[in-house]
Amino acid sequence: MYNLIVFASGNGSTLQAIIDNIENGRLSANIQLVVSDNSSAFALERAKMHNIPTYIIKSKSFEKRDTELSEVLSHYSINLIVLAGYLKMIGPKLIEKYSIINTHPSLLPKYGGKGMHGMHVHQAVVDAGEQYSGVTVHFVNQEYDKGSIIRQTRVVVEPSDTAETLSAKVQSAEKVQLIDVIDDFINGKIS
């Protein structure tokens, strides 16, 4: 079985898409653990509803968080870590040991970096009058949203789009693309 760990900070809709695709047989995988830095994240409730163990990060500092997570994750057999709406920087101990991917709601390198997440990204795209936005899945490295791009899906930004309507389009594309990317990892098409 292909073992996943999912990190999430918020609602967990992307986590839910992964869970649904495992349960319907689309992904031959197992989520061993859902990790969050936010004890009130609904992602944790989603995990519990599907009997997936959860872990809430205790350390606040970057270095201590890296050490804490390295220790916690050492007890698992991990094929891939998926950041699904996780907003903290990943430390070098994890990056050196595991394959880690992130999904980002823009066509990187545009609209990436610290503080560029969720509605901040969509509002910036609309304000700039972009014709296209989309979603990027990339490997995680030591800089926000700078890792090697695995795949991108483009969506059209209509003149009538708001940050909210654009968000809905991007989230829909994001879930399809991420499931395809995870499936490619499982089947050895990406390593």
Would you call 120 a catalytic residue per the annotation? Answer: no
Query: Regarding beta strands 2-7 and 80-83, do their DSSP bridges make them parallel or antiparallel, or are they unpaired?
Result: parallel
Residues constituting the chain:
191
Catalytic residue among 75, 104, 117, 138: 104
Comparing CA positions, the residue from 158, 173, 186 lying closest to residue 106 is 173
**Dist. CA 9–CA 11, nearest whole Å:** 7
Angle formed by the axes of helices 163-186 and 118-128, nearest 10°: 120
Q: Measure the CA–CA gap between 65 and 37, rounded to whole angstroms.
A: 10
Distance CA 89, CA 69 (A): 12
Question: What is the greatest pairwise CA distance in the chain?
Answer: 50
Residues designated as active site: 104
